[in-house]
Each structure stands twice: as C-alpha cells, then as structure tokens.
C-alpha cells in the first residue's frame, strides 16, 4: 500500500512543480554520466557464456578482438558480466573474486581483479565489470543451478551494491581500475517472498520495488534515488567522468525516459536472445525513442547476438540485419559471442567499416522511422556530414517490396540521389524521386544517401533528434507503450501466465509522428515532417551557430484525447521568449510560428496547456518545425 501511494505521488506533479519544469532555463540541461560521445563498443561475456565464465575464456575473446582487427574497428571494452564473485567478506564488506575461475585474482587474502584489468589495459583495451543495484544479482535468481554462484551465509551472498555503494565503487574504479560498469536490477525485482529461492530461506526477502509489466506498482522515484547515489559515488572516484555506466533495468520503471540522466546507456528492453523474434522485439523498444538519445547518452536494446543461434555463420543475412538495426539506431555495440570460435564471415560483419561508421557517426543522431507497417520499416539517420544513412528492413519470412522515396530521406525529389551500399562498400546507383527494392526474408539493406535537401536552406528538427533533450514530456500518468511488439522469448513454459514485458513511456515526444504513433495532422492538414508531443512539454533544441530562423506550423493534433483545453505554443531562445501563439484548441487551423534565431544557441519549444481537460492529454503538433 505504501509503495502504491509512493508511486502515485511520484506520478502526480503538483502544479507548482509542473510550472517550474515547464520554465525555460536557457541552458542545455542534459549532464552526461560518464563519457562516451559515440555509442560504446566492446565485448561482454554474458551472451557467450552466461555464468559459465572463466578468465581464460574472456582473455581468449579479448585476444581475438585485438588480432582480428575488431579493436581497431572500435570494439575496445572487455566486459565481465555476472558470475565473477565468490562472496562479500563480512568483517569488512570487501568483495571476493571467484579465483577458481579468475586465477590471476588470487593475490593473497584480498583477491583482486587488478591483474586482470592491468592485462586488458596492456592490450590497449578497456575493462568492464558487472554488479547489481540491489543486494543480490540476477544469476542468483535465474541461474540457480549454476556452480558459480556466490557462496556462504545470507550476508556473504549479498554481493550487490545495496548498502555498499561507496565501498564497491571505490574498489571497482579505484583499486581495480575498471573503466565500465553494468548495474543490473534483479535485487529490486526478483527477491519477493513468493519466489522459490526466497520462500526456501536461501535468500533474504526484498519486497520488489520493480514489477516488470506493472508500472503502477513500481517505485520509479525510489529506483532513481538508488542510481543517483551510484552516480555520486562514481563522481567521487572518477571526478573526470571517464567511465561508462550501463543501467540495466530492462526498460522497466520508466527508465526509457530517465536513463539518460543516470547512465551513459540504459537498457530499453528485457534480455535479448539468439532468436530472430526476440532481437526484433528489442529493436522495437528503441525504435520510437529517438528523442531520448544523443551524444553521451544511448538507448540500449541489449548486447549483440551476432555469432549465435539465428545469427551464426549459417545465417549471415540475419546477422547483417541485426548489425544494421543496431547501427541505424546508434545502439551500443557489445559483441556477445565466443570469438575464439566464430567464422571469419561473422568477424567481417562485426567489423564492416561503413556499417560501424554509421553507428559511430559523431553527430550521434538515432535513426528515425520514415515508414513502418507490420512487415516493413524504413529508418533514416542523419550523419554529421549531411548525408543520410537509410535502412530498409523486411521483418517477415517472405520476400517484400519497398519503395524508397526522396521524401523518406527529406531530399529534393527532382534531383538525383546517390546511394552507396554500406555492406558492399560500393556505389549502389542513383535515383530521382523514388526507387524500388525487393528484399529477401529477414533482410535489411543499409545505404548512405547523398542528395539535395528538400528545404532550400535548413533542416527539420526531427532529422536531428540527438540535438534534442526532453526536459519535460507532458506525460501525466505512466502508461504502457502498446506499439512494442510482444515477441516473447521462450524463457517461460506455456502452462503458466508467462512473463509479459511492458514498457512505460507511452506519450513521449516523437519525430515525424504524434506521441501516440499517429500521423501528424491539424484540422485535417497533415504533416510528414515535424514533432509530436503532449501539452505541458518542453523540448530543448541545440542549434548550430549561424542559425537565422525557427519556423513551425502548430496546432492541437487531430488525434488529441483532450479536446477542450487550450494550448499556447512558445519558442524561447537562450532563455528569452522569441515567439508565441495565443491559446489554441482542437479543430482550430494551424498557426504559423516564426522566431528570429540570430545569435541563439539553444531553442526551447514549450507547449503550455491552459486548464485541465478531463478527457485526457492534449496532443500537439509542431508541423514542419525547422531551423533555417
């Protein structure tokens, strides 16, 4: 009951708080956690070995990372996932390494992973480790039969951060000199009294504060607080911010919205698996979250399965598709296969220079959906040099036809567009207006495209989502996102209720779409380009030096739920109000907004609601929002 009240309190902003967070500040509010201007790249033990991990296996893959040129390609972080610990020593709280698996850690009474990180660093690589924000880890709940679980009393087996944050962070980043930490959340979700491993007395109960699939019973603010403490501890040990913090909460507790303020990257979905449908599900959980990522902050659909199962050496089409999808959405690229065993063809896919370059593009924009139906998707990612990367994805098991248009690319339909195949690293011809493609089952094509922008001068804000920070999303009540397909991996049997994933964040702002995934439209007039948001939102937009004007055609969207309350639209520049409409309501024609941007570095787009609307949130459209 207490938890429920807490959760409700967290969901209902008081009107004073609401007015405060709507107020433009004139300064970019995102503060990076750690440092990773482009998506993190590396290798992690989990998808390859689960808890069946040894130091030798990690070193073998690290060896291949170097010898195969993968390190050169950018894969530098070698990450130990779950399974490395023996116990927490109870007299001083110090964590002990399972030296049977990590022999170099047997350094006397104080086992230490420093010899391991020294070795990794000497190879020119970086080292990563894994822990849990709660008392216990995921393996203790889900790999109960493993011989590699922590041993001893309750307290000795409580190897997670809870109660030991400062001590453990000092150990990992100070003494042991790691560069990267993944912090899981099973300690908050999987130790309820009804769990067999708790009921049997094996683990101490922790009343779950994260309930997968149940946002209303999850403690969003409490979880944020724990990660805030972690951030503070990291700052103490690494004041230069030179680390990567990977938040692993599987898309629960609305982390898809706040992950960017507490981590360098944050998982948007439950665990990936080596089956095609689960991979697609994970992709879907990031595909609509383009405004939540950017340089230094990355949506994470989970580690790669390339080399495994549906993505192994016998399934190179699927392996390329997986890689192409992660590239276009600027996802972290963490290899998850035993590199000492994979075929050269798999290494070549992981290394593909022009594909990796799309992922690592310095502008850090996530690809935006330009077209989507159940079977086919087209995503377009703006690159730093003005070119576009475009991915055509056939989700189905049958061949599929695609028409790629200049409009998808936001390019002039009368001027030739030059395509280059990112896989073949070869010219792929040119087209004017549109071009047809036929894709094989599960195939994704990936090109870069050069042409003339459809705007004579300038660009649409929706093309550069990495320059946007969602300072306030306008969401009043957390709702599950219904557009994420429920592709369920078979980690549950069919004789129970199953574990249904659910992701909050429904209603967050979107590029070229309403927040509820409809086409943008105001009083019957539709917009293929623009931003959809909810009222009482504030979006920060970084604009390049020399920008002259912001223009947009704004109004209450036809798909709005609330139809009676009025909304005014305001454009702010560096903390000054530059332009505004008067109050507008549903079914009124679009208004033109023009703001002079000379000398302005930061634009803030505010949609302010006047009065309550019992029917629901007001959906607003910034049609053709552009910078000239």
Nearest to 464 by CA among 326, 603, 593, 334: 603
Least distance to ligand GLA from the beta carbon of 259, Å? 14
Residue 92 contacts by C-beta under 8 Å, 6 or more apart in sequence?
Answer: none
**Contact letters for ligand GLA, residues 227-256 (x by CB under 6 A):** ---------------------x-x------
Least distance to ligand GLA from the beta carbon of 152, Å? 19
| Token pair 């690229």 in the structure block, residue | 333
How many residues are recorded in the chain?
628
User: What is the DSSP pairing of strand 417-421 with strand 468-472?
Assistant: unpaired
Q: Is 46 in the site for ligand GLA (CB under 6 A)?
A: yes
Rg (CA), the chain: 24
**CB of 148 or CB of 377, closer to ligand GLA:** 148
Least distance to ligand GLA from the beta carbon of 579, Å? 45
Q: Is 271 in the site for ligand GLA (CB under 6 A)?
A: yes
Least distance to ligand GLA from the beta carbon of 420, Å? 35
**CB of 29 or CB of 143, closer to ligand GLA:** 143
Q: Is 212 in the site for ligand GLA (CB under 6 A)?
A: no
C-alpha angle 149-153-154 in degrees, rounded to nearest 5: 85
**CB of 138 or CB of 470, closer to ligand GLA:** 138
C-alpha angle 38-39-43 in degrees, rounded to nearest 5: 130
Least distance to ligand GLA from the beta carbon of 154, Å? 19
3-class secondary-structure state, position 175: helix
Quote the CA–CA distance of 153 and 293 in Å, as a whole number: 42
**CB of 138 or CB of 342, closer to ligand GLA:** 138
Least distance to ligand GLA from the beta carbon of 73, Å? 23
Beta strands in 214-367 (DSSP E): 244-248, 265-267, 298-300, 333-335
Residue 143 contacts by C-beta under 8 Å, 6 or more apart in sequence?
Answer: 50, 51, 82, 149
Residue 107: C-alpha distances to residues 97, 115, 121, 157 (Å): 10, 9, 19, 21
Number of CB atoms found within 10 A of residue 146's CB: 15
When binding is defined by CB under 6 A, the residue of 36, 61, 82, 223 that contacts ligand GLA is 82
**CB of 208 or CB of 451, closer to ligand GLA:** 208
**CB of 137 or CB of 171, closer to ligand GLA:** 137
Q: Is the separation of the CB atoms in 99 and 86 below 8 Å? A: yes
Q: Is 136 in the site for ligand GLA (CB under 6 A)?
A: no
Q: Is 310 in the site for ligand GLA (CB under 6 A)?
A: no
Least distance to ligand GLA from the beta carbon of 300, Å? 10
**CB of 284 or CB of 613, closer to ligand GLA:** 284
Q: Is 473 in the site for ligand GLA (CB under 6 A)?
A: no
Tokens of 325: 């999808």
Which residue number places its CB atom closest to ligand GLA?
A: 138
Each as own residue / partner, the long-range contacts of residues 480-484 (CB below 8 Å, 24 or more positions apart, any chain) are 480/213, 480/215, 480/504, 480/506, 481/288, 481/505, 481/506, 482/506, 483/284, 483/288, 483/517, 484/269, 484/281, 484/284, 484/285, 484/288
Say which DSSP state 310 is in: G
3-class secondary-structure state, position 327: helix
Q: Determine the size of the site formed for ligand GLA (CB under 6 A).
A: 9
**CB of 46 or CB of 262, closer to ligand GLA:** 46
Least distance to ligand GLA from the beta carbon of 97, Å? 17
Q: Is 81 in the site for ligand GLA (CB under 6 A)?
A: yes
Least distance to ligand GLA from the beta carbon of 60, Å? 20
When binding is defined by CB under 6 A, the residue of 55, 158, 168, 184 that contacts ligand GLA is 184
Least distance to ligand GLA from the beta carbon of 184, Å? 5
Least distance to ligand GLA from the beta carbon of 139, Å? 4
Least distance to ligand GLA from the beta carbon of 319, Å? 20
Q: What share of the chain is helix, strand, coil (3-state, %, to 5)?
A: 25, 25, 50
**CB of 304 or CB of 319, closer to ligand GLA:** 304
Q: Is 138 in the site for ligand GLA (CB under 6 A)?
A: yes
Q: Which H/E stretch holds residue 25?
A: none
| Residue 550 backbone phi and psi in degrees, to 5 | -110, 135
Q: Is 339 in the site for ligand GLA (CB under 6 A)?
A: no
Least distance to ligand GLA from the beta carbon of 586, Å? 42
Helix crossing, 220-237 with 255-262: angle to 10°?
Answer: 20
**Contact letters for ligand GLA, residues 344-383 (x by CB under 6 A):** ----------------------------------------
**CB of 249 or CB of 325, closer to ligand GLA:** 249
Question: Interaction with ligand GLA in 409-438: which residues (CB under 6 A)?
Answer: none
Helix crossing, 316-328 with 344-351: angle to 10°?
Answer: 20
**CB of 305 or CB of 354, closer to ligand GLA:** 305
3-class secondary-structure state, position 95: strand
Tokens of 561: 């739920």
Q: Is 299 in the site for ligand GLA (CB under 6 A)?
A: no
Q: Is 139 in the site for ligand GLA (CB under 6 A)?
A: yes
What is the torsional sign of CA 154, 159, 165, 168? positive
**CB of 254 or CB of 462, closer to ligand GLA:** 254
Residue 284 contacts by C-beta under 8 Å, 6 or more apart in sequence?
Answer: 269, 483, 484, 485, 487
Interface contacts to ligand GLA, rule CB under 6 A: 46, 81-82, 138-139, 184, 248, 250, 271
């Amino acid at each position: 009951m207490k938890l429920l009240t807490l959760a409700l309190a967290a969901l209902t902003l008081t009107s004073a708080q609401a007015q405060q967070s709507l107020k433009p500040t004139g300064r970019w509010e995102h503060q990076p956690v750690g440092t990773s201007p482009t998506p993190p790249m590396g290798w992690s033990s989990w998808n390859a070995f689960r808890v069946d991990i040894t130091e030798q296996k990690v070193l073998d893959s690290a060896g291949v990372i170097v010898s195969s040129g993968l390190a050169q390609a950018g894969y530098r972080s070698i990450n130990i996932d779950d399974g490395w610990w023996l116990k927490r020593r109870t007299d001083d709280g110090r964590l002990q390494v399972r030296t049977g698996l990590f022999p170099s850690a047997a350094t006397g009474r104080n086992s230490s992973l420093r010899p391991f990180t020294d070795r990794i660093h000497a190879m020119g690589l970086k080292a990563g480790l894994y822990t849990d924000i709660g008392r216990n880890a995921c393996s203790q709940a889900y790999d109960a039969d493993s011989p590699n679980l922590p041993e001893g009393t309750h307290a000795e087996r409580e190897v997670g951060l809870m109660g030991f944050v400062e001590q453990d962070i000092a150990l990992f980043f100070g003494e042991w000199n790691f560069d990267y930490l993944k912090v899981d959340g099973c300690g908050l979700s999987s130790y309820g009294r009804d769990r067999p491993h708790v009921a049997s007395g094996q683990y101490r109960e922790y009343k779950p504060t994260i309930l997968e699939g149940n946002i209303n019973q999850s403690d969003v603010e409490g979880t944020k607080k724990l990660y805030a403490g972690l951030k503070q501890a990291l700052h103490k040990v690494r004041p230069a911010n030179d680390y990567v913090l990977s938040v692993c909460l599987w898309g629960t507790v609305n982390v898809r919205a706040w992950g960017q303020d507490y981590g360098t990257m944050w998982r948007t979905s439950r665990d990936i698996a080596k089956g095609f449908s689960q991979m697609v599900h994970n992709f879907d959980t990031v595909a609509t979250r383009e405004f939540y990522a950017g340089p230094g902050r990355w949506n994470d659909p989970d580690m790669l399965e390339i080399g495994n199962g549906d993505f192994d050496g016998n399934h190179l089409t699927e392996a390329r598709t997986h890689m192409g999808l992660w590239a276009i959405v600027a996802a972290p690229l963490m290899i998850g296969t035993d590199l000492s065993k994979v075929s050269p063809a798999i290494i070549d896919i992981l290394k593909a220079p022009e594909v990796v370059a799309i992922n690592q593009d310095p502008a850090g924009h996530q690809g935006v959906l330009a077209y989507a139906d159940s079977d086919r998707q087209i995503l377009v990612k703006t690159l730093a040099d003005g070119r576009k990367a475009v991915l055509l994805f056939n989700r189905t098991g049958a061949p599929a036809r695609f028409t790629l248009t200049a409009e998808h690319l936001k390019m002039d339909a009368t001027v030739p567009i030059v395509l280059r195949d990112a896989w073949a690293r070869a010219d792929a011809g040119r087209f004017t207006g549109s071009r047809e493609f036929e894709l094989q089952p599960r195939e994704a094509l990936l090109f870069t495209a050069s042409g003339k922008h459809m705007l004579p001068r300038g660009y649409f804000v929706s093309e550069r989502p990495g320059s946007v920070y969602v300072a306030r999303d306008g969401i009043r009540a957390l709702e599950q996102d219904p557009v994420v397909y429920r592709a369920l991996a078979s980690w549950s049997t069919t004789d129970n209720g199953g574990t249904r994933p659910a992701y909050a964040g429904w209603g967050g702002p979107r590029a070229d779409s309403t927040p509820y995934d409809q086409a943008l439209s105001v009083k019957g007039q539709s917009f293929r380009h623009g931003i959809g948001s909810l009222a009482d939102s504030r979006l920060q937009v970084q604009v390049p030096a020399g920008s002259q004007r912001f223009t947009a055609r704004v109004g209450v969207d036809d798909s709005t739920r609330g139809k009676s309350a009025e909304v005014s639209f305001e454009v702010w520049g560096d903390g000054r109000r530059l332009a505004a409409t008067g109050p507008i309501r549903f079914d009124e024609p679009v208004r033109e907004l023009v703001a002079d941007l000379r000398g302005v570095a930061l634009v803030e787009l505010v949609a302010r609601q006047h009065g309550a609307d019992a029917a629901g949130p007001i959906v607003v459209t910034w049609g053709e929002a552009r910078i000239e």
